[in-house]
């Protein structure tokens, strides 16, 4: 029988508590800034951002849902809203007629450009202004390592 894992040290416990709070509070803070200043949710921003970063500004709806950490039904509802605003279009997938792609429109790209400064300022104020001279490459590598197998 394997020995039980060692308890967390006080420093490890402090990191876990701070990380847990960060994971709850930070998405809300970033969303609140976008909503207040741009009348756009963080989820809406994420959809437009992901589409803007892909070739042809096009993604299969299921891939977009995964990229935004949403269910397909949730993404379908959000895409319908963004489509009604003219920010994206949904088109049939050429490779599989059962599937649909989301395509960023010119209006959607312009809306993303309008919202970007607000999001950037929010990210800087809530995150990077508090990191001081931490090694950001090591921090990013650690985060990536933690999420590699999930």
| pLDDT greater than 70 at residue 150 | no
Name the average pLDDT for the chain: 95
- Percentage of the chain exceeding pLDDT 90: 91
Q: Kindly list the structural domains of the chain, giving each domain's residue range(s) and its CATH number in brackets, ordered by start.
A: 30-130 (1.10.10.10)
Q: Which of 21-35, 44-58, 86-100, 135-149 has the lowest mean pLDDT?
A: 86-100
Q: Specify the DSSP class assigned to residue 57.
A: G
Determine the average pLDDT of the residues in 19-27.
Answer: 96
The residue-averaged pLDDT of 17-28 equals 96
Q: How many CB atoms lie within 10 A of CB 58?
A: 17
Helix, strand, or coil (residue 97): coil
Strand partners, 103: 58, 89
**pLDDT value of residue 111:** 98
Q: What is the DSSP letter of 135?
A: -
- Both tokens assigned to 137: 């490459």
């Amino acid at each position: 029988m394997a020995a039980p894992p060692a308890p967390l040290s006080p420093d490890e416990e402090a990191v876990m508590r701070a990380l847990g709070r960060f994971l709850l509070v930070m998405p809300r803070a970033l969303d609140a800034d976008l909503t207040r200043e741009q009348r756009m949710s963080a989820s809406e921003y994420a959809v437009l951002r992901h589409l803007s970063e892909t070739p042809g500004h096009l993604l299969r709806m299921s891939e977009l849902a995964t990229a935004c950490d949403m269910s397909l039904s949730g993404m379908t509802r959000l895409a319908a809203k963004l489509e009604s605003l003219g920010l994206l279009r949904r088109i049939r997938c050429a490779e599989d007629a059962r599937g649909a792609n989301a395509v960023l429109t010119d209006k959607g790209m312009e809306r993303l450009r309008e919202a970007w400064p607000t999001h950037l300022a929010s990210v800087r104020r809530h995150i990077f202004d508090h990191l001081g001279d931490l090694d950001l490459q090591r921090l990013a590598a650690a985060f990536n390592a933690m999420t590699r197998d999930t």
